[in-house]
């Protein structure tokens, strides 16, 4: 800064004077306080956030500005204060060799619990690993992807599995294991110092991959899950936890803020988010960079406070479930029943205008089960289909009140599965008049498997129109030919060739009809159902999620029962839970059902259905002496991946049972441009445009 010393003194006073006196929030008032502050477009949150100085000018920033250190900084205005910068050991004759853009950060009680760092640049990866070695750090939390929206956010500073190892200065980094999960990647690394004859040490690198390019994650639970993974790794000997994003302030500050405040909530039953963010800013400028991140910390605290921890590892599932089912005294509800009662219903949390239109009412089998507008499945009109791919009508949303002009209505909803949004479609059993719409949807979405969880009739009542026939049938320009039938004891598999008569394109579709499950009951034999799921997963291409196949529009799986909610909801939840059990060896029934309820009405609506999910996973993974016994069907392992854009998420940020109105435009993004002008007052991260979160009423 070119301001004189005299000016600086005035600024210092202003720094402190603009701070507000915000009371800590007791846990029992968290939800009400949140609702109060988010009201009126988040005005109170904005006032709080804007009162915190972006930089405390009383702290000097000299080392970072020295000419020999300038190219080590990713952003010219995000620099560590001198008083708590991480100092590397000096290399004789190398000017500035003790400098890295990283700051020590105090935890809730523990001094220097974290190091907040910028994402390494190609020129600073050697320094970064030297810091990891010298600080004896064993956990790195990376809250960015290397590239986002064609922008370089961070160098890839670790070796790939193909290469196995890489050398950064004196530090040799070997990679032993890399595990990809839907929202994060965990890599087990081992580092040694070529100059020292000491033993190497293990370092765990956990990269969170679900932070959207703009805004914040829609579900604060994702960050609670990340924290759980990180804290499962940390112990007394793990050294400071190194957290970085690109600049090392926005997402980094948000993660640290959530971790520290949850620790405080557990320890004291209250949280001082405002006070802690002020403390963060005294240790690194711009920590918690935009208002939406400040709000996200509060959302994560509310989520945790409302619902607690419901994830359980498979090895502990049996004893955990027995404990949940115990009634003490017998007249009281069990813990499992209490858990089910805590689930929010989300009824009416989003609009359902399209399905309730006069011209669409006859297309609904059950007038109470109407898809939400934001995730209903649009069908392109025939003329558009021929121009395949010229425009994508996926983006039907609350704002899109007239999106029917370009798409037909069907009572069907996109469902988020284990690997991300739009992994499945839940729909009602077709009515006679909607059979051709059903097949158009199957064809347009390149569906590979249809799961039918109902019979055609129950007594005289039609549950589902027969949407196929023997031989060839034509439904409004789509020809469906049954090519094979295979009957198993509890389910039937039918194979169809589905041909678009105009374009002559044919797709192979398999239908699995499960016979042993009526309405509100649970399946007679859950093992049958699981073996059917393992069988149908063979029909998907096993493809790891990559940026390339995320963008294809196909949805591999359509699930229907009579109304597309009762059995369908339980089945979709079970698919996700089985996948989670296989990949991560943990399940979270509560969170899976909670997320599912936001996508369609009436799913997992009874306690029997909820308990069935727990029981089925427990019976599929029998425990022996605390170890999980691998089921004999494990060799049927095929990854079931969504092939759709992860960023295609609605901005429904609130998972607690509140009613958001329309999300506004995304708020300002974080600093993300290396070539920014030196005048840091023009920062892109100003929050004066109002919150980047849905406003709650």
What are residue 150's phi and psi, to 5 degrees? 65, 15
Using an 8 Å Cβ cutoff, are 50 and 687 in contact?
yes
> Mapped to the 3 state alphabet, what secondary structure does 202-236 carry?
EEEEEEECCCCCCCCCCCCHHHHHHHHHHHHHCCC
Using an 8 Å Cβ cutoff, are 587 and 312 in contact?
yes
Using an 8 Å Cβ cutoff, are 643 and 556 in contact?
yes
Whether 285 is catalytic is: no
Under DSSP, the state recorded for 9 is: H
Round to whole Å and give the CA distance between 297 and 76. Answer: 27
Residues 6+ apart with CB under 8 A from 260: 107, 108, 113, 276
Using an 8 Å Cβ cutoff, are 146 and 153 in contact?
yes
Nearest residue to 602 (alpha-carbon basis) of 520, 513, 514, 515: 520
| Set 245, 285, 464, 641: catalytic member | 245
> Mapped to the 3 state alphabet, what secondary structure does 489-516 carry?
CCEEEEEEEEEECCCCCEEEEEEEEECC
Range 87-96 burial, b when 16+ CB lie within 10 A, else e: ebeeeeeeeb
Dihedral sign computed on CA atoms, order 563, 567, 573, 576: negative
Round to whole Å and give the CA distance between 691 and 44. Answer: 11
Dihedral sign computed on CA atoms, order 263, 268, 274, 275: negative
Using an 8 Å Cβ cutoff, are 302 and 31 in contact?
yes
Burial class, 673, CB count within 10 angstroms (exposed 0-12 / middle 13-18 / buried 19+): exposed
Which stretches of 497-646 are DSSP H helices? 526-537, 547-550, 566-584, 589-597, 607-620
Q: Give the strand pairing for 184-193 and 171-180.
A: antiparallel
Dihedral sign computed on CA atoms, order 409, 410, 416, 420: negative
Using an 8 Å Cβ cutoff, are 422 and 377 in contact?
no
| Set 154, 285, 464, 561: catalytic member | 561
Round to whole Å and give the CA distance between 184 and 298. Answer: 22
Nearest residue to 24 (alpha-carbon basis) of 291, 300, 277, 292: 277
Whether 561 is catalytic is: yes
Round to whole Å and give the CA distance between 650 and 654. Answer: 11
Active site residues: 245, 561
């Amino acid at each position: 800064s070119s301001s004189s010393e005299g000016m600086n003194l005035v600024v210092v006073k202003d720094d402190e004077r603009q701070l507000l006196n915000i009371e800590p929030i007791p846990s029992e008032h968290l939800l009400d306080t949140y609702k109060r502050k988010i009201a009126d477009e988040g005005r109170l949150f904005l006032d709080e956030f804007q009162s915190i100085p972006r930089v405390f000018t009383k702290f000097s920033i000299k080392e970072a500005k020295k000419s020999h250190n300038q190219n080590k900084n990713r952003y010219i205005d995000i620099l560590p204060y001198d008083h708590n910068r991480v100092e590397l050991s000096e290399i004789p004759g190398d000017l500035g060799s003790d400098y890295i853009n990283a700051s020590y950060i105090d935890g809730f009680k523990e001094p220097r619990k974290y190091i907040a760092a910028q994402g390494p640049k190609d020129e600073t990866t050697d320094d970064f690993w030297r810091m990891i070695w010298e600080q004896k750090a064993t956990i790195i939390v990376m809250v960015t992807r290397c590239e986002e929206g064609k922008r370089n956010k961070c160098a890839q500073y670790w070796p790939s599995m193909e290469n196995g190892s890489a050398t950064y200065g004196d530090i040799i980094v070997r990679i032993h294991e890399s595990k990809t999960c839907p929202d994060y990647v965990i890599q087990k690394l081992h580092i040694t110092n070529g100059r020292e004859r000491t033993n190497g040490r293990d370092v765990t690198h956990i990269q969170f991959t679900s932070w959207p390019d703009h805004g914040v994650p829609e579900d604060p639970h994702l960050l609670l899950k990340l924290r759980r993974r990180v804290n499962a790794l940390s112990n007394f000997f793990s050294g400071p936890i190194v957290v970085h994003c690109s600049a090392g302030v926005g997402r980094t500050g948000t993660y640290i803020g959530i971790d520290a405040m949850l620790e405080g909530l557990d320890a004291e039953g209250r949280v001082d988010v405002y006070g802690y963010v002020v403390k963060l800013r005294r240790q690194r400028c711009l920590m918690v960079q935009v208002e939406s991140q400040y709000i996200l910390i509060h959302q994560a605290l509310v989520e945790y406070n409302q619902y607690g921890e419901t994830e359980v590892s498979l090895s502990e599932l049996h004893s955990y479930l027995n404990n949940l089912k115990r009634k003490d005294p017998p007249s009281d509800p069990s813990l499992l029943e209490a858990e089910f009662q805590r689930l929010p219903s989300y009824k009416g949390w989003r609009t359902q205008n399209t399905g309730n239109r006069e011209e669409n009412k006859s297309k609904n089998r059950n007038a109470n089960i109407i898809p939400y507008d934001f995730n209903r499945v649009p069908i392109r009109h025939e003329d558009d289909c021929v121009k395949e791919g010229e425009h994508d009508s996926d983006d039907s949303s609350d704002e899109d009140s007239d999106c029917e002009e370009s798409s037909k209505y069907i009572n069907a909803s996109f469902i988020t599965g284990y690997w991300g949004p739009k992994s499945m479609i839940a729909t009602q059993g077709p009515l006679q008049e909607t059979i051709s719409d059903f097949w158009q949807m199957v064809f347009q979405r390149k569906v590979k498997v249809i799961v039918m969880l109902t019979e055609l009739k129950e007594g005289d009542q039609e549950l589902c129109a027969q949407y196929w026939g023997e031989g060839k049938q034509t439904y409004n320009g789509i020809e469906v030919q049954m090519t094979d039938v295979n009957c198993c004891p509890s389910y039937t598999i039918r194979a169809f060739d589905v041909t678009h008569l105009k374009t002559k394109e044919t797709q192979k579709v398999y239908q699995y009809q499960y016979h042993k499950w009526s309405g509100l009951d649970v399946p007679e034999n859950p093992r049958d159902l699981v073996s059917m799921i393992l069988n149908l997963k063979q029909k998907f291409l096993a493809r790891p999620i990559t940026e390339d196949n995320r963008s294809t529009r196909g949805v591999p799986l359509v699930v229907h029962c009579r109304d597309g909610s009762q059995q369908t909801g339980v089945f979709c939840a079970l698919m996700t839970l089985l996948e989670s059990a296989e990949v991560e060896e943990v399940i979270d029934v509560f969170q899976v059902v909670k997320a599912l309820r936001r996508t369609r009405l009436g799913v997992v609506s009874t306690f029997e259905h909820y308990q069935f999910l727990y029981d089925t996973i427990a019976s599929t993974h029998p425990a022996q002496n605390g170890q999980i016994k691998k089921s004999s069907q494990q060799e049927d392992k095929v990854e079931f991946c969504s092939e759709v854009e992860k960023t295609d998420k609605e901005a429904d940020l609130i998972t607690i049972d509140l009613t958001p109105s329309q999300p506004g435009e995304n708020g300002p993004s974080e600093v993300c441009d290396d070539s920014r002008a030196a005048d840091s007052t023009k920062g892109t991260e100003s929050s004066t445009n109002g919150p980047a979160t849905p406003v709650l009423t």
